[in-house]
Amino acid sequence: MQGEVATGRCVLRITGADRETFLQGLVTNDLRRLAEGAVYAALLTPQGKYLADFLLVAQDGAILLDVAEALAPDLLRRLSMYRLRADVAIAEIGIVPRRGLGAPPPGAVADPRHLALGWRAYDGAPAGAPAIDWDAIRVAHVIPESGIELIPGETFILEAGFERLHGVDHRKGCYVGQEVTARMKHKTELRKGLVAVAVDGAAEPGAEIAGADGRAAGTLFTRSGDRAIAHLRFDRAEGEMRAGAARVRLA
């Protein structure tokens, strides 16, 4: 299966003897899982806020890092800053990621976030034009997207569903932002997060959602038909809510 272009994505290639241990001390997931397939992870601020999320794939003695193109320059700068004396080299390469559903081509890897996201390939083979409604898939399974639901410097990954999407390992040990993430996991109950909502009426992504009592309840994000992903305060997400002229309720 040819697959289609994973639009707006960039691939970094990380080489050197210390490549795995270098990333292990920085990102939210356990790099030892690379032996089993692709790994989904994120880099956070020391305050535990999201900076970038990416897929990591072991290939030919290197680790490929598949990230949103808009986030790549800052991510490359930050990784280079953390490199210090580690035997690591990081460079952008010209591979165009492919993705698709159904039978995967040789060498493809399953998207680790959710079965519904199919496979991804990094072999440089030609890809077709986008034809699959990936937004509909994301909305159906509440899968956030870089730069939309996942906002650099603002998002907390547990509120974005990273546990459900296999993007964080609470047993792997230290990484940047680990202390804040661990406190959110073990010492508090999440009061906000991404959820699926039903939408009746016109409302643009980014519209503020008001609760039944008129108080701010959250924000509407990706929409597909009469369903959408929203970031909501759970204590204000009861009954019928409003986003502009649209009626909103938990799906």
Interval 16-35: pLDDT, tens: 999 999 999 999 999 999 99
Whether residue 2 is predicted with pLDDT greater than 90 in this model: the reply is no
* CA distance from start to end of the chain: 34
Whether residue 129 is predicted with pLDDT greater than 90 in this model: the reply is no
Averaged pLDDT, 159-173 = 97
| Dist CA 87 CA 187 (whole Å) | 37
Predicted TM-score (pTM) of this structure: 0.95
Quick: pLDDT tens for 194-220.
Answer: 999 999 999 999 999 999 999 999 999
- The neighbour count for residue 30, using CB atoms within 10 Å, is 17
Cα-flanking dihedrals φ and ψ of residue 183, to 5°?
-65, -40
Whether residue 125 is predicted with pLDDT greater than 90 in this model: the reply is no
What is the predicted pLDDT for the residue at 96?
87
What is the predicted pLDDT for the residue at 133?
96
Domains annotated on the chain, with CATH = 4-134 (3.30.1360.120), 192-250 (no CATH)
Whether residue 168 is predicted with pLDDT greater than 90 in this model: the reply is yes
Averaged pLDDT, 48-68 = 98
Q: Alpha helix locations (H) across 17-145?
A: 19-24, 72-83, 134-141
Averaged pLDDT, 131-150 = 97
187 or 72, higher pLDDT: 72
Those residues whose C-beta lies under 8 Å from the C-beta of residue 224, and which sit 6 or more positions away, are 133, 135, 136, 138, 139, 140
Percentage of the chain lying above the pLDDT 90 cut: 91
Averaged pLDDT, 220-248 = 96
What is the predicted pLDDT for the residue at 10?
95
Let me know: does 249 contact 196? Beta carbons within 8 Å. Answer: no
Q: Which of 182-191, 214-223, 235-244 has the lowest mean pLDDT?
A: 182-191
Averaged pLDDT, 158-184 = 96
What is the predicted pLDDT for the residue at 1?
55
Cα-flanking dihedrals φ and ψ of residue 63, to 5°?
-120, 125
What is the predicted pLDDT for the residue at 21?
97
pLDDT band at 3 (very low <50, low <70, confident <90, very high): confident
State the residue for tokens 């956030």: 144
Whether residue 121 is predicted with pLDDT greater than 90 in this model: the reply is yes
